[in-house]
Amino acid sequence: MKLLQHGVLVLGALMALPSSADQVKTDDLIVQGNLCVGQDCLNGEDFSLGALKLKENNTRIRWHDTSATSGALVRQVLENSYLENTVGQSWGMDANQSSNGGLNGFYIIQKSLVSSFVLSDGTAPDYDCVGTSGNPRPVVGTIQEGQPVESEFNCLGIEQFLQLDTLVLGGSAGSGAAVGIGAELADGEVSLGSASLRRRLVHVASALGDSDVLIKSQLDAGLFQDRQERLDGIESLMDMAEQEIATLEEAVKPTVKPKGGGSGATG
């Protein structure tokens, strides 16, 4: 009897523990109030700035399109290493970089569905994983190209998702914007690429304001007008010079007298 009572108590205690299992709802879910998602959400959350709030140290939204197919293998170059993975099925929106001391900004990214090992490009440091343990461990060489890089603290391989930034908006008032994969973000600039990656800005209307950007048709028209004015001026000077030359030629032209002494008629 005591064993049965003990079993009932244990079962009741287990049922009282919070469940960590996923909850699957196979019907529509309607929330008529506001919603806060994240580990930092509190009772009495302020929703005056919106009905949906993501609140924690790293806020992320991710889309996974199960109908899309992944594209070709993409290589992302990192410091002393690289990642190879496919994108095209997953997109994300990140608010600020997750790494300690990372940049504040808003990111729209293409993201691989699964993580993969970060691989050495032949220059990644090889740490002493056998001898004395350090923090970080001492470097004893370099890792062969194509082999996983090591963590400097525990020598384990590093895995991460491949991420390609497609739009980056800086987080401060003087920050810039980077549009397109590979575009470099810089304060006070709107970047479409980098020193090695150039893009064209197309379908732009003609400039009206003093600070508007001139488009090619306006630039061509301005250059042609200036060039035409110069040509017209040169042509006018040439006409004047030809007239002066003609006047001088007329002034120095010799007078031709008729020949005299004709014979008279004979009878």
pTM above the 0.95 mark? no
Closest of 123, 155, 121, 122 to residue 138, by C-alpha: 155
Question: Could you tell me which residue, 55 or 97, shows the higher pLDDT?
Answer: 55
pLDDT, position 101: 65
Question: Residues 33-83: pLDDT tens digits?
Answer: 999 999 999 999 999 988 999 998 888 999 999 999 988 899 999 999 999
- Is the separation of the CB atoms in 90 and 111 below 8 Å? yes
Is residue 133 over pLDDT 70?
no
* CB 118, CB 143: distance < 8 Å: no
- Closest listed residue to residue 150, CA positions, set 190, 119, 188: 119
Q: In whole angstroms, give the CA distance from residue 164 to residue 196.
A: 17
Residue 135 has pLDDT above 90, yes or no: no
Number of H helices, E strands in the chain: 2, 15
